Amino acid sequence: MFPLWPTAASTMSDRVDALYIFLIAVTSAVTLMVLVLILVFIFKYRHTRHPVAEQVVGSLPLELTWSIVPFVIFVIFFAWGARIYVAEATPPKNSLEIYVIAKQWMWKLQHQNGVREINTLHVPMDRDVRLTMISQDVIHSFWIPEFRVKADVLPGRYTTIWFRANKTGTYHIHCAEYCGTLHSDMGGQVIVMTPNEYNHWLSGGGEMGSFAETGQKLFQSLGCTNCHRFDTQGRGPNLVGVYGKPVLLTDGRSVIADDAYVRESILNPGAKIVAGFRPIMPSFQGVLTEDQLLSVIAYIKSLAVSEQREPVSNRPPVPERSSGVEVQ
Ligand code: CUA
């Protein structure tokens, strides 16, 4: 049978479909009602029975009815849609985090342990997965129809979506924003595995070590450690435990140290200066690729959980492994 809409494979699918069916049902009912009334009125008020039209001038009950009834219907549309929108916009805590980098015309996907994929995304079933996405060039849009999630992927700014797949299988990734000649080819597949299969698949690890370790190497090789020290406050803030917490700025504002904040602080360090520090950090605009920026952010994030866990920085250095071929 010709499928009316894509397979439902995430916890959000049925909720989105229910609203969709409701919208179709209500609009179809209204359309049908208008159609039937047109036919009835054509017959009932035909010229031979009503040679002269009767004018109705002003009717409060009538005006109230046609104002209140549509209003109530639209409020139901709005409230229902807003609930789903908020749910889709709020990733649950402790989601599995995966980075997505879009470029003309492919999707690069990076897992925390350093595993990289192109146009294929492996995820575990029954686990919240959050995608942090950015584009290297133009605006793209990441869409998994079977999960009923879609969001624009923008240059220079992180956007996120999350989902919880509840059915194993292979599903589609599409680019849903026209992005150039090969836009229609910019797609791929999501492979949903059982948690065991997923762990097995992931266990190989990345050729270059985990994502945070790549970030740590960059952090050291770029000389960040000269100012951002971990034992004491250096010329730059000590970054241990900073990620995810509020940061007090010189202008008195307080901001949460999230991905966007860390990114801005690396590329445009003068934008938000932490209280008690001077604006001496150089910009790394053009120095770091989007991949590298994300790995540095992953490293800084790994420093934030150091209270419970040994931070990456205290582990023995990762032995250099032969670098695999990386598609840029
Ligand atoms: Cu990328 Cu369309």
Close Cβ partners of 249 (under 8 Å, ≥ 6 residues apart) = 255, 272, 273, 274, 275
Please name the residue whose Cα sits nearest to atom 1 of ligand 1: 140
Close Cβ partners of 196 (under 8 Å, ≥ 6 residues apart) = none
CA of 188 to the centre of ligand 1 (A): 12
Q: Is 101 in the pocket of ligand 1 (CB under 6 A)?
A: no
Strand order in the sheet with 116-118: 116-118, 106-111, 96-103, 128-135, 159-164
Nearest to 115 by CA among 197, 199, 188, 210: 210
Please give the pLDDT value at position 317. Answer: 44
Please give the pLDDT value at position 301. Answer: 83
Tokens for 179, please give them: 């992005």
Q: Is 179 in the pocket of ligand 1 (CB under 6 A)?
A: yes
Please give the pLDDT value at position 139. Answer: 94
Please give the pLDDT value at position 2. Answer: 76
Distance of CA 18 to the CA centre of its chain: 22
Please give the pLDDT value at position 320. Answer: 42
Please give the pLDDT value at position 190. Answer: 93
Please give the pLDDT value at position 310. Answer: 44
User: Atom of ligand 1 at shortest distance to CA of 184?
Assistant: 2
CA of 306 to the centre of ligand 1 (A): 38
Please give the pLDDT value at position 319. Answer: 42
Which helix (H) or strand (E) segment holds residue 248: the answer is strand 246-248
Nearest to 98 by CA among 259, 266, 326: 259
CA of 191 to the centre of ligand 1 (A): 20
Q: Which residues pair with 256 in a beta bridge?
A: 246
Tokens for 230, please give them: 């971990």
Q: Is 133 in the pocket of ligand 1 (CB under 6 A)?
A: no
Tokens for 280, please give them: 């001496």
Q: Is 106 in the pocket of ligand 1 (CB under 6 A)?
A: no
Q: Is 186 in the pocket of ligand 1 (CB under 6 A)?
A: yes
| pLDDT under 50: residue ranges of the chain | 306-328
Digit-coded pLDDT (tens) for 51-109: 888 888 888 999 999 999 999 999 999 999 999 999 998 889 888 989 999 999 899 99
Please give the pLDDT value at position 243. Answer: 82
The whole-angstrom separation of Cα 158 and Cα 1 is 40
